[in-house]
Structure 1
Amino acid sequence: MSNSPSILIVGAGAIGALYGSALSRSGARVGVVCRSDFEQVQRDGYRIASKLLGDHVFRPHAVLRDVAACATPPDYLILTVKVLPGVDRAALIRPAVGPGTVIVLIENGIDIEPEITAAFPDNELLSALAFVMVSRTASGEIHHQSLGSLAMGRYPAGATPAGERLVSLLKAGQIECRLTDNVVAARWQKAVWNAVFNPISILGGVLDTEAMLRTEADQAFIRKAMNEVCAVAAADGHPMNPKLVDRMIADTRALPGYKTSMALDYENGRPMEIEAILGNVVRAGQRLNVPIPALESVYAVAKMVEGKRA
């Protein structure tokens, strides 16, 4: 791998643009695949408004309309598309994956890696979790509200030079990033929050985090559902810190109310990642014989909301 690695970001929306800009600042040659904003980004790049990183313009090394237009396999292929039923992510990236390409997933959900490892068994896979508030506000325009850190590790476990290199590049681009040798446990830890707050945020129309934690009864239900996720994680071999749920609730209450990614998708008529974020947790609980009545109820009603909108 050269001193200036080639990186292709597939699904370069808000997440992809933010981390792509950081990698570009660190000296990587960053190309992006974007369909809806292709003309705008090709002409003007991405305009990123960020208090943390400063307002700036990210001009990718290459802007492609589809993956098949990638002439040379990149050193890293970063996938940031939504994990949705019916979306064949392996087929989407296949034209650009070469023998030495490291595939990186910056996506939500539990148990999202097997589809990729089955399709590319000889390629290294890095799984990453983003802790960030960022959104696309208009064509080619990104608003980075706060946070921005990444945790990543080799799937299913371990750390590698390729992961260390990518972390170094992100840090050089002002992104807080850490390697973990147990990324599956890290995904479960994020799911403790994600699998509860995200779907509940769409059950009452659009609820922000403040609305979901307004009363003691609200907090009690949220806590019950989060503890059920912890129970499933433990049954899967990844016990959580006993103080995790209380800490997450306290941290969420300390922030101004904000809308989850699923609430924003619901509000804007976009597909929602109900299956990846919650459905996979529910199925894991049922497979492992863990009682999860709160999660099953939230999942059932979330599917009703999704079905009504379809």
Structure 2
Amino acid sequence: MDNTKVLIVGTGAIGSFYGGKLDCAGAQVSTLCRSDYNHIKKSGISVKSVMGDFHFMPYEVINKIEDYSSIPDYILVTTKVLPGIDIQKIIEPKVGKNTAIVLIQNGIDIEKPVREAFPNNEIISGLAFICVSRTSLGEIYHQDYGRLIIGNYPNGLSPKVKYLQSLFIKSEVDCTVDDNIVNSRWKKMIWNAPFNPISVIGGGVDTKTILENSEAKNLVINVMKEVLEIANKSGYNLPETLIQKNIEDTLNMKPYKTSMLLDYENNRPLEVEVILGNAVKIARDLDLSVPNLKALYSLLLLLDKNNI
């Protein structure tokens, strides 16, 4: 076994899948669980995956972070980014001087609060390109993809980033590194900003249904154009070809219910601010007109408020 200690904070679909993969690579992986605590402590996590099914029994299963018996080399944060979740407060008891904090989460501008809370710790930002969901207690269904991109925030590539990459690659996860990870976050926003909200506002539709409707497809493209403009005005150089590539990639993948739609259907809070709100605020600061993003943002705020 590798002596690398990893603590997963947010043992839902993403945390369970990638935590399980790090366990497969030999790392000592522990999990902070809430609703699944009793089940996972007794039976572990089962993953049905297109890459091959596997079972993962965490080294330690805890429901309070203070109960973790060590200080981890990596804390992998895979929770939703929501106003009611104070990640800095949750992880603080187990952040040692050499602990790298890895944020595998959606959205833009998510790293700043963690950087402010832990100015002397290494922050690794991560993007997951994966279709995965939790089907029941301790049961994960990995439907498609699985690629990761990681890099230091705000930029750079440290030995800890490269070692984490090596662990993922060892477990057959396609993991690449990027020394300008914020640029990659904007690239992912090109997909997230239209598909997540439209899947909810459109009445519970999957990606295939969205793109088969010509008006919905035009809305997707217009939102993508607005995200591209914000990113480029912010100093990032994203080519317009990314729009067509995202459309083609989505048409080629299996029909998929977005993570936001799954949250909505299960009456969970939505990641409205980090997927739409932050982008709208940045556009406002840059004096950019983003009518499609603003409309989706306004409607999603209403739906989110009335769904909880």
Give TM-score scaled by structure 2 length.
0.97
Which residue in the other structure is 1:268 paired with? 266
Residue 124 of structure 1 aligns with an amino acid whose one-letter code is E
Residue 24 of structure 1 aligns with an amino acid whose one-letter code is D
Structure 2 portions without partners, runs of 5+? none
Pick aligned residue for 2:238 from 234, 237, 240: 240
* 1:78-133, Cα deviation, whole Å (9 max, x unpaired): 10111001321100110110111011000111000011000000000000000011
Give the 5 Å matches for 1:271-282. Answer: 271-282=269-280
Q: Say whether the 8 Å CA contact 2:123–2:152 is kept in structure 1.
A: yes
Separation of aligned partners in 2, 1:87 and 1:17: 19
Which residue in the other structure is 2:198 paired with? 200
Q: Secondary structure at the match of 2:190?
A: helix
Q: Secondary structure at the match of 1:286?
A: helix
Which residue in the other structure is 1:28 paired with? 27
Q: Post-superposition, which runs of at least 4 consecutive aligned residues in structure 1 deviate over 4 A?
A: none
Q: Say whether the 8 Å CA contact 2:144–2:254 is kept in structure 1.
A: no
Give the 5 Å matches for 1:20-99. Answer: 20-52=19-51, 54-99=52-97
Q: How much has 1:158 moved relative to structure 2?
A: 0.5
Residue 220 of structure 1 aligns with an amino acid whose one-letter code is N
Task: Among all aligned residue pairs of Structure 1 and Structure 2, give the percentage whose two residues are the same amino acid.
Answer: 42
Which residue in the other structure is 1:284 paired with? 282
Q: Say whether the 8 Å CA contact 2:131–2:256 is kept in structure 1.
A: no
Residues 3 and 211 of structure 1, relative CA distance in 2, 3 Å threshold = closer
Residue 145 of structure 1 aligns with an amino acid whose one-letter code is Q
Aligned residues: 308
Name the Cα RMSD after superposition.
Answer: 1.2
Separation of aligned partners in 1, 2:134 and 2:233: 37
Q: Secondary structure at the match of 2:201?
A: coil
Separation of aligned partners in 2, 1:82 and 1:228: 24
Q: How much has 1:178 moved relative to structure 2?
A: 0.5
* 1:254-293, Cα deviation, whole Å (9 max, x unpaired): 2232111101111111111111111111111111111101
Which residue in the other structure is 1:217 paired with? 215
Residue 122 of structure 2 aligns with an amino acid whose one-letter code is E
Q: Say whether the 8 Å CA contact 2:144–2:253 is kept in structure 1.
A: no
173-182 vs 3-12, which deviates more?
Answer: 3-12
Structure 1 portions without partners, runs of 5+? none
Q: How much has 1:247 moved relative to structure 2?
A: 1.1
Q: How much has 1:3 moved relative to structure 2?
A: 4.9
Residues 21 and 256 of structure 1, relative CA distance in 2, 3 Å threshold = closer
Residues 3 and 41 of structure 1, relative CA distance in 2, 3 Å threshold = closer
